[in-house]
């Protein structure tokens, strides 16, 4: 079966600066891959390239069967979910309205919103609270609820544990495990490597915009 992510010699620029300098990476369906590396190594850029948000200027980049070098960026976005450094939420809308907007946009039944909120452990009383009034952790959970409700085939998580309390981190790990059990593939960029290794099948180290090591079977029982 073709890999979910197939990158060969991928180069991507931020302005004139190369943020990916020849990435070679294959990720198979159902894998959880931990991306680690120092700040500025290119982890976030790699996730954004996979999401079709960062244009690939050279190399071969195929994600979920969509060639990102020949205009497949928009098509791939329907199948990926990105939890980035920002929440991508609208402050003046309530939690429920933000989730509903994302679901309508993705042509998903809005009725999935309540189940997603419950799944990520968001208190039902927050349903009609404006996002501007939420704590950082609650915002993160709301963004996670959007991701869960959309049921993407490829999860791209950038420092997903940041800003979450212990219970929320546990919920996040369970969500990732459940998503993989449901057939999804997950790329996690994290500095909290000990925690992320518990759920990852492989650890890929990114340095200077390229893969410096790729260690498989690091899962801890």
Partner 1 sequence: MWRDALVVGGKDLRIEMRSRVATNQVAPFAVVVLVLFAFALDPDRGILERTSAGLFWVAVLLSSLLAVQRSFAIESADGARDGLRLSGLDPAGIFLGKAGAVAVQLVALELLLGAGIVVLYDTHLRGPLLLVATAVLATVGLAAAGTIYGVVAAGLRVRETLLPLLLLPVVAPVLLAATRAWEAALAGDPGEGWPWLRVLAVFAVVYGAFGVLAFGPLLEES
Binding site residues, partner 1, CB under 8 A: 51, 53, 73-74, 77-78, 80-82, 84-93, 97, 101-102, 104-107, 130
60 or 78: whose CB is closer to partner 1?
A: 78
Q: In angstroms, what is the minimal distance from the CB of 218 to partner 1?
A: 29
88 or 215: whose CB is closer to partner 1?
A: 88
Q: In angstroms, what is the minimal distance from the CB of 47 to partner 1?
A: 11
**Segment holding 97, helix H or strand E:** helix 95-105
- The residues facing 21 across adjacent strands are 11
37 or 81: whose CB is closer to partner 1?
A: 81
* φ, ψ (nearest 5 deg) of residue 190: -155, 145
189 or 211: whose CB is closer to partner 1?
A: 189
Q: Per 3-state DSSP, what percentage of the chain is helix, strand, and coil (rounded to 5)?
A: 35, 30, 35
**Segment holding 58, helix H or strand E:** strand 56-63
Please choose, from the candidates 80, 221, 85, 216, the residue with its C-alpha nearest in 3D space to the C-alpha of residue 150.
80
77 or 169: whose CB is closer to partner 1?
A: 77
Q: In angstroms, what is the minimal distance from the CB of 106 to partner 1?
A: 5
Handedness of CA 185, 139, 45, 205 (dihedral sign): negative
Report CA-CA distances (Å) from 129 to 45, 87, 137, 142, 157: 33, 16, 14, 11, 25
Q: In angstroms, what is the minimal distance from the CB of 157 to partner 1?
A: 14
Q: In angstroms, what is the minimal distance from the CB of 42 to partner 1?
A: 18
**Residue 212 tokens, joined:** 């410096």
């Amino acid at each position: 079966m073709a890999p979910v992510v197939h990158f060969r010699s991928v180069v991507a620029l931020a302005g004139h600066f190369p943020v990916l300098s020849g990435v070679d990476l294959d990720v198979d369906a159902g894998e959880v891959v931990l991306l680690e590396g120092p700040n500025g190594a290119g982890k976030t850029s790699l996730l954004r390239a996979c999401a079709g948000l960062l244009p690939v200027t050279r190399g071969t980049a195929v994600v979920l069967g969509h060639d990102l070098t020949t205009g497949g960026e928009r098509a791939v976005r329907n199948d990926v979910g990105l939890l980035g450094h920002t929440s991508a939420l609208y402050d003046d809308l309530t939690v429920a309205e933000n989730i509903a907007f994302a679901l309508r946009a993705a042509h998903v039944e809005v009725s999935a919103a309540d189940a997603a909120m419950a799944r990520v452990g968001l208190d039902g009383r927050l349903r009609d609270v404006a996002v501007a009034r939420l704590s950082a952790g609650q915002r993160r959970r709301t963004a996670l609820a959007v991701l869960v409700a959309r049921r993407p085939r490829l999860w791209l998580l950038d420092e997903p544990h940041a800003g979450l309390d212990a219970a929320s981190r546990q919920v996040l790990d369970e969500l990732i495990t459940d998503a993989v059990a449901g057939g999804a593939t997950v790329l996690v960029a994290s500095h909290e490597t000990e925690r992320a290794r518990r759920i990852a099948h492989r650890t890929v180290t990114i340095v200077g915009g390229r893969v410096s090591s790729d260690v498989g079977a690091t899962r801890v029982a």
